[in-house]
């Protein structure tokens, strides 16, 4: 990897002197009789050509209403004022301040800040979206920041990017787990205990967790650098959530609707995102952004508005089974499947064995019985095979939805409109992997890797054996909703544009091609996590290169990195889209370096399919 050429040493000092510099003279702050502070930085987001949302939070010493002056100006000292006003906040909105500032000039850069009593916030930098001709757009794409797993070095690296117009955050901005959950042991080792230490369930819990994240100077610096466009994934509420619940919402944790409402209220309070229209559903997060004549960004909502319950390998993938006739209990025999059976028939799994290099089912009852009695470790070299037909039937059920009809129609209209207006690129912000992927073949993985996987996720040993057969990579992703995915890929095909899907969630980096009817209709660029570990981290200790195994089974994966933390930098112009996958050397320490792992590029095609993903060689400095 080529080093970026800087370390963390002195970085925060430089940021303080630059983007987050202390404010100079500005309009007078409202009178406030009390002690308060600005502990959580400033942020801006959801820019349009004439407006942008600005955000901060005050921390008062005593409860009550706090009047806060907001200022948008043309200079960093906030003396060349464009707009200003006073926003009153109190405990009902957790003392957050959010203003949708309208009347801005398209494409213009602005500075903003806040003051209350005798205190002033840091200064942030933002920009309204351009109209007309635009030559270049540079964005950073981020996702998955588990506070407990490490330091937010990648956020600081984003803040240090010299040429950056926007940050797109694709979800898992916070994690809901308590100290006993995901990352708890790492939290203790690094001294990064979640606040509160219990799993987030109530409005106060989610508010505390957002406050803990926003107190991190690296995240504050990234927010102050430029506007953000954000979408939630699952951990802003609960793991693997869907329209009617979540994997991590369990018995005894109260009403799901109340928990979801509390989490979304905290999200809208603490994030620089435009609030829903009066009477609008909080779950409907989809929205569009236009970057002159160069690009359209469409942000999808893939969790709460329409998603069916995700399938789960632990419960939805069973060993291959067949009917057994127990008319003679001492010598049951396997029979052919039928629509119905008499009472003496039972459905039981069938083990397999390898004979002369070939897998063969075993129907010898004493051996089958021995395997059933020891399912996790069948004797005599027997193995279980997955019931892929039943899983595929569940995945392909007609009522399984990811985004639903309304959002699908909105996506089709917006894409068609972008192409009709001759915008070069169509970006789709999407939370979970869209590319069809087969899981890597791990059935011969070293014992050390198997033990590590089983320790991380009980039941992994059996699933790794099942991967001898092609299985979907992740049932919580679009792989679990193939009918909906096929419709979306058809939307891409009919739009006939230059679609780039931006994806988070997987804790890995990806450069994938998306095909429909043997035709490339889009590319998918997956951003790795800020801190959250993935499958590559678990299996690396056992000598397994998961990335290479994934590529061996998936020709549409042009490149993947399953090990490193960081972010994606995407630069668009009229000739190409350049994706640079940036990594940080460590998240276990605040001393780190930044590197460009690899670059991939794609060229727009004016009349036919989008160009292929090809490596982009970094220019060497002379």
- Closest by alpha carbon to 585, among 597, 573, 595? 595
Whether residue 433 has pLDDT greater than 90: yes
> In the numeric block, which tokens belong to residue 373?
């009695």
Whether residue 2 has pLDDT greater than 70: no
Asked if residue 202 and residue 272 are part of one domain, the reply reads yes
In a domain, 57, yes or no: no
Asked if residue 405 and residue 358 are part of one domain, the reply reads no
In a domain, 141, yes or no: yes
**Structural element, H or E, at residue 495:** helix 482-495
Name residue 37's beta-bridge partners. Answer: 59
In a domain, 124, yes or no: no
The sheet that has 351-355: what strands, in order across it? 358-361, 351-355, 383-384
In a domain, 74, yes or no: no
Mean pLDDT over all residues of the chain?
93
Return the CATH number at 140: 3.60.21.70
Is the Cβ–Cβ distance between 388 and 377 less than 8 Å? no
The whole-model pTM stands at: 0.94
Residues comprising the chain, all counted = 622
Asked if residue 258 and residue 333 are part of one domain, the reply reads no
The sheet that has 287-291: what strands, in order across it? 287-291, 295-299, 425-430, 499-503, 519-526, 509-516, 557-561
One DSSP character per residue, 213-227 reads HHT-HHHHHHHHHS-
> In the numeric block, which tokens belong to residue 468?
């001898």
Asked if residue 241 and residue 164 are part of one domain, the reply reads yes
Question: For residues 358 and 120, what is the distance between their CA atoms, to the nearest angstrom?
Answer: 73
Percent of the chain scored above 90 by pLDDT? 89
In a domain, 16, yes or no: no
Number of domains the chain is built from: 2
* Mean local confidence (pLDDT), 215-242: 98
Whether residue 12 has pLDDT greater than 60: no
Asked if residue 251 and residue 223 are part of one domain, the reply reads yes
Question: For residues 245 and 260, what is the distance between their CA atoms, to the nearest angstrom?
Answer: 9
In a domain, 53, yes or no: no
Rg, the chain, Cα only: 26
The confidence score (pLDDT) of residue 278 equals 76
> In the numeric block, which tokens belong to residue 218?
């690296």
- pLDDT tens profile 244-269: 999 999 999 999 999 999 999 999 99
The confidence score (pLDDT) of residue 376 equals 83
Count H helices, E strands: the chain? Answer: 15, 33
Is the Cβ–Cβ distance between 470 and 553 less than 8 Å? yes
* Mean local confidence (pLDDT), 313-330: 94
Question: For residues 312 and 242, what is the distance between their CA atoms, to the nearest angstrom?
Answer: 13
* Mean local confidence (pLDDT), 573-583: 97
Residue 406: count of CB within 10 angstroms of its CB: 12
Range of the domain at 333: 319-385
- pLDDT tens profile 52-75: 999 999 999 999 999 999 999 999
Question: For residues 398 and 481, what is the distance between their CA atoms, to the nearest angstrom?
Answer: 10
Asked if residue 336 and residue 301 are part of one domain, the reply reads no
Question: For residues 566 and 569, what is the distance between their CA atoms, to the nearest angstrom?
Answer: 10
Question: For residues 209 and 215, what is the distance between their CA atoms, to the nearest angstrom?
Answer: 10
Question: For residues 622 and 617, what is the distance between their CA atoms, to the nearest angstrom?
Answer: 15
- HSE toward the beta carbon, residue 210, CA cutoff 13 A: 26
Question: For residues 104 and 111, what is the distance between their CA atoms, to the nearest angstrom?
Answer: 12
- Closest by alpha carbon to 453, among 565, 542, 560? 542
Asked if residue 459 and residue 563 are part of one domain, the reply reads yes
Residue with tokens 């292929």: 612
Asked if residue 456 and residue 434 are part of one domain, the reply reads yes
- pLDDT tens profile 271-311: 999 998 877 788 889 999 999 999 999 999 999 999 999 99
The confidence score (pLDDT) of residue 23 equals 42
- pLDDT tens profile 144-159: 999 999 999 999 999 9
Residue 93: count of CB within 10 angstroms of its CB: 16
Residue 214's Cα: distance from chain center in Å?
A: 18
Whether residue 4 has pLDDT greater than 80: no
In a domain, 34, yes or no: no
Question: For residues 546 and 565, what is the distance between their CA atoms, to the nearest angstrom?
Answer: 15
Going by pLDDT thresholds of 50, 70 and 90, the confidence category of residue 323 is very high
The confidence score (pLDDT) of residue 284 equals 87
Asked if residue 324 and residue 313 are part of one domain, the reply reads no
Is the Cβ–Cβ distance between 400 and 393 less than 8 Å? no
Asked if residue 428 and residue 312 are part of one domain, the reply reads yes
Residue with tokens 């679609």: 499
Asked if residue 335 and residue 267 are part of one domain, the reply reads no
Tell me which DSSP letter residue 619 carries. P
In a domain, 342, yes or no: yes
Asked if residue 332 and residue 253 are part of one domain, the reply reads no
């Amino acid at each position: 990897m080529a080093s970026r050429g800087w370390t963390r040493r002195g970085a925060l000092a430089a940021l303080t002197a630059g983007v987050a510099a202390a404010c100079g003279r500005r309009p007078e702050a409202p009178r406030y009789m009390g002690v308060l502070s600005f502990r959580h930085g400033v942020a801006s987001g959801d820019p349009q050509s004439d407006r942008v949302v600005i955000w901060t939070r005050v921390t008062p010493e005593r409860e009550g209403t706090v009047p806060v002056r907001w200022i948008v100006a043309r200079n960093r000292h906030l003396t060349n004022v464009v707009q200003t006003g006073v926003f009153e906040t109190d405990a009902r909105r957790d003392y957050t301040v959010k203003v949708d500032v309208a009347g801005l000039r398209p494409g213009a850069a602005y500075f903003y800040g806040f003051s209350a009593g005798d205190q002033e916030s840091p200064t942030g930098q933002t920009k309204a979206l351009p109209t007309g001709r635009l030559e270049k757009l540079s964005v950073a794409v981020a996702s998955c920041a588990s506070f407990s797993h490490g330091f937010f070095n990648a956020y600081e690296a984003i803040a240090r990017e010299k040429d950056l117009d926007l940050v797109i955050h694709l979800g898992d901005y916070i994690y809901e787990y308590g100290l006993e959950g995901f990352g708890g042991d790492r939290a203790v080792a690094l001294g990064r205990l979640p606040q509160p230490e219990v799993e987030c369930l109530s409005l106060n819990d989610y508010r505390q967790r957002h406050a803990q994240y926003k107190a991190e100077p690296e995240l504050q610096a990234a927010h102050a650098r430029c506007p953000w466009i954000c979408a939630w994934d699952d951990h802003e509420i609960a793991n693997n959530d869907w329209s009617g619940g979540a994997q991590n919402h369990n018995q005894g944790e109260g009403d799901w609707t109340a928990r979801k409402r509390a989490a979304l209220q905290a999200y809208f309070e603490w994030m620089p995102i435009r609030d829903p229209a009066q009477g609008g559903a909080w779950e409907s997060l989809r929205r569009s952004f236009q970057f002159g004549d160069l690009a359209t960004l469409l942000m999808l909502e893939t969790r709460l508005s329409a998603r069916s319950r995700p399938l789960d390998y632990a419960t939805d993938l069973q060993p291959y089974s067949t009917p057994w006739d127990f008319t003679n209990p001492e010598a049951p025999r396997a029979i052919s499947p039928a629509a119905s059976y008499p009472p003496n028939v039972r459905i039981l799994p069938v083990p397999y064995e390898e004979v002369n290099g070939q897998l063969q089912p075993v129907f010898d009852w004493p051996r089958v019985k021995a395997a059933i009695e020891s399912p996790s470790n069948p004797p005599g070299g027997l193995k279980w095979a997955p019931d892929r037909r039943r899983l595929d039937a569940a995945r392909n059920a007609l009522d399984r939805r990811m985004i639903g009809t309304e959002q699908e129609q909105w996506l089709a209209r917006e894409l068609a409109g972008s192409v009709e207006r001759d915008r070069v690129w169509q970006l789709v912000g999407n939370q979970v992997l869209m590319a069809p992927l087969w899981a890597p073949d791990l059935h011969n993985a070293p014992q050390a890797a198997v033990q590590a996987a089983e320790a991380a996720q009980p039941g992994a040993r059996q699933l790794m054996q099942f991967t001898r057969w092609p299985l979907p990579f992740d049932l919580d992703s679009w792989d679990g909703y193939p009918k909906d995915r096929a419709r979306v890929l058809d939307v891409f095909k009919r739009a006939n544009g230059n679609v780039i899907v931006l994806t988070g969630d997987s804790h890995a980096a990806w450069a994938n091609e998306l095909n429909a009817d043997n035709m490339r209709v889009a590319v998918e660029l997956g951003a790795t996590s800020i801190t959250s570990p993935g499958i590559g981290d678990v299996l690396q200790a056992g000598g397994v290169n998961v990335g290479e195994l994934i590529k061996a089974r998936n020709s549409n994966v042009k490149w993947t990195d399953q090990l490193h933390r960081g972010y994606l930098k995407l630069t668009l112009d009229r000739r190409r889209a350049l994706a640079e996958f940036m990594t940080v050397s460590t998240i276990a320490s605040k001393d780190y370096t930044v590197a460009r792992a690899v670059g991939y590029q794609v060229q727009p095609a004016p009349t036919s399919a989008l160009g292929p993903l090809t490596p982009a060689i970094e220019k060497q400095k002379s």
